[in-house]
Chain A
């Protein structure tokens, strides 16, 4: 059943994991460099020109390609099962995947040729080869096409099921894709109108502040595009795997609607230090950013309560004894539980980033990569790995190659990330060590940094080993000749409350209206101001 959808999901996951393998392999090199071991000169022979080219590969492949391809694969698999109907126009999703792969190749070649060493944010005035931007645009367009395929399927389901509440997983997927659709308008405008004409030489200069503003219109909701698929698993799948039920489906739905409304109008908190943006608008975005604290805390409560239900159903007693009763021997569950623990600290770091005065201290320091390795590098990536431990067997029809190796993988990721992230956080906060810098070659590097740099390096190397365990398990599973005797099904948690969720939590109009109004308030005046005063004077630079 769902053979076509499984193929789309399978190929998407394959591309995602190849990207993670290549991008991830750059990580230990960076951390070795932190500790004074420079392998980049040696790697010149195979075409790696610099630390910064490696950093671009690491960030683009991990943060953009691994995540986006995994998400569309996971969503394609989960949507049809949640709605219990196949894709309405599967060719559209096949075409979407092809467009994304073409875009990926177009973007990857300039990066590999050192023609697009512009890091993950590709901030102007750093300038890349035009094909890099065209490739990224195609990846985004392909993801939109995936979304259109999902919307058409959803509308068909709605026609056939009038008056029925949308199943939670399907609703969460559609909300995530709509949020992504809105958010990517920012980066599409930036690339099409500001960057491509400039990189082609059609215009002499561009306006970095305006470009950065459009980038962060997309850049922060991108974080939620990564996180919400993990939340789909935490809310709707993990409780089932843990033997429990979803504690409150109503709260789960409310959280997704709130993320739709609040994810986009917050981007200026990434631009607190941009001189061209008035402080008042930064304050507006800061307030909306802190509003995101509410759905985040609701998520923490609901997901943990769902797990508590599972732990108690498995015989756990006492106030916290249920935690030990959770199925820690299941690598899919363990990876996701460990991801959640790391996310606790990632979330707290996020609150620090969003606080204006503290942001002045940690901005552009190693605190920032310390933070986002706890979010996208742990809450998201380790959760996706946990999902892969049932999803890849489900798609391939094979058993997971080794549960023991998978468990080791989850724990080594956890330990490695604690070490690396702790080192980076303290180096940033206490010593203002800059991020995105080849520290091993920095003449101003302070000997006082060394213990923490060493800690970060050990963490990075453990993460590298953990990555190898993951790839070994995925390859071992897919290449195994033995078919699974019992097919693996998608875990779907029942709701504790059998009463259908209120109608207002299944209605698009009020939430879309709130989303649009908030975006217009938060971005309308400032964009009009920035566009009307734009100065397209900055030439491009290619320093590396």
Chain B
């Protein structure tokens, strides 16, 4: 029984870390694209 509880904890931790990574990916891509859009808008205004 202990071993089942233990692996469920491992799995829970695995899910949390995996989704943390997925959220980081989304946030990172969003930030990079936001900044690159700002830059391209600045270039257009300058033109």
A joins B in a complex: no
